[in-house]
């Protein structure tokens, strides 16, 4: 098995367990993971600590303590597999059980910061960091990207609802503690990480609905902007307050907000940092509908169900056409639309849709 990363292995202080746990620093995310307690010995980097490398876990057994190789006893489905995993994927697959920051302080213990539930072909991705009002930090972003990548490759999922845990916030913004410690290089890295994840969401081939309850500020507002549709509860509040911190939106807010609400209102919201309530957000086109807070989850599922009952190939290509048109001049966008229209005419789903309409029955789309 192969795990991507770099760093130096350490024993875990204060443990008397016969099976050693190990911390691994993961490149780019600046987090440490602790391998599952099924490890015998400690996994070390194949080419020495502190270098970018592939870490190979050999089948050789070792005692507790720092060693260059050790044996991991994995479940049958992972045994003998060769995997190249980022931190979020490794966590979601149960290969890491705990996370520590660079100071060795636990930031996660057996509980994911982003969870995925699938029901009736709709995935619900929930950011669950309630004590911090679901604020974004590098670990949350890493897990969020992993969650979306796992859903993208799941053929059983036709649509995604993105929401935040708890009653107070969708996502209240970026983690101020992280922002306070960044230098110029770190700020660029943080911005690029968030932009990459949000671009993944905006370009996602399956429809994504943001179910926004409570605060969606800063990075939270930018996250909602990256989704294809937005449904807000009556207590929702939106804003980009970064200028009040001496910053600007760094996850795409200065680009996406104007596309939704118009240049004038986007500039006003960005320069004043003002919050807008749900009613104002609906009036200016930031959200599609407002629902009572206790109905947000059910109404989000109802809305997504209206989308997922349509032809899945048509939905995917419609999204592609709409977002492609934002990046090119109108003539090229129209050519692209016509090409996709022609492509759909050759699908089984189109024939099924037209036949079902003529026969006055619900269509049975197969996604091909």
User: How far does Cα 345 stand from its chain's mean position?
Assistant: 33
Helix 330-344 × helix 312-325 angle, to 10° = 170
Give me the helices (H) in the chain, please.
87-92, 138-152, 176-180, 184-202, 219-226, 253-261, 263-272, 278-283, 296-308, 312-325, 330-344, 348-358
- Mind telling me the catalytic residues? 222, 242
Return d(Cα 292, Cα 11) in angstroms, integer: 50
25: left (phi over 0), alpha (psi -120 to 50) or beta: beta
Cβ–Cβ < 8 Å for 287, 281: yes
Cβ–Cβ < 8 Å for 128, 114: yes
Pairing between strand 122-127 and 159-164? parallel
Q: What is the H or E stretch that residue 111 is in?
A: none
Return d(Cα 265, Cα 70) in angstroms, integer: 58
Total residues belonging to the chain: 368
Cβ–Cβ < 8 Å for 15, 36: no
Return d(Cα 170, Cα 168) in angstroms, integer: 7
């Amino acid at each position: 098995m192969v795990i991507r990363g770099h760093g130096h292995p350490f024993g875990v202080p204060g443990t008397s367990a016969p099976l050693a746990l190990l911390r691994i620093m993961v490149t780019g995310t600046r987090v440490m993971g602790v391998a599952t307690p099924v490890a015998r010995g400690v996994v070390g980097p194949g080419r020495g600590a502190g270098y970018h490398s592939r870490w190979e876990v050999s089948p050789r057994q070792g005692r507790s303590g720092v060693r260059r190789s050790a044996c991991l006893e994995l479940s049958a489905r992972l045994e003998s597999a060769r995997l190249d995993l980022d931190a979020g994927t490794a966590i979601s697959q149960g290969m890491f059980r705990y996370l520590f920051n660079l100071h060795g302080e636990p930031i996660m213990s057996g509980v994911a910061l982003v969870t995925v539930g699938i029901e009736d072909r709709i995935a619900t991705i929930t950011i669950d960091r309630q004590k911090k009002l679901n604020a974004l930090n590098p670990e949350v972003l890493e897990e969020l990207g992993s969650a979306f990548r796992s859903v993208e490759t799941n053929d059983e999922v036709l649509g995604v609802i993105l929401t935040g845990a708890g009653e107070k916030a969708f996502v209240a913004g970026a983690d101020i503690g992280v922002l306070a410690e960044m230098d110029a290089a770190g700020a660029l890295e943080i911005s690029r990480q968030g932009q990459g994840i949000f671009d993944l969401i905006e370009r996602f081939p399956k429809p994504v609905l943001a179910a926004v309850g409570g605060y969606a500020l800063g990075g939270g507002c930018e996250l909602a902007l990256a989704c294809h549709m937005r449904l807000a509860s009556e207590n929702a509040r939106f804003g980009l307050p970064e200028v009040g911190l001496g910053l600007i939106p760094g996850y795409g807010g200065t680009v996406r907000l104007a596309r939704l609400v118009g240049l004038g209102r986007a500039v006003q919201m960005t320069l004043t940092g003002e919050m807008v309530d749900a009613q104002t957000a609906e009036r200016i086109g930031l959200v599609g509908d407002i629902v009572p807070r206790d109905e947000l989850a059910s109404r989000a599922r109802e809305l997504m169900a209206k989308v997922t009952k349509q032809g899945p190939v048509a939905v995917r290509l419609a999204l592609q056409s709409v977002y492609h048109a934002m990046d090119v001049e109108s003539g090229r966008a129209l050519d692209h639309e016509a090409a996709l229209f022609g492509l759909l005419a050759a699908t089984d789903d189109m024939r099924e849709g037209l036949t079902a309409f003529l026969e006055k029955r619900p269509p049975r789309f197969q996604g091909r």
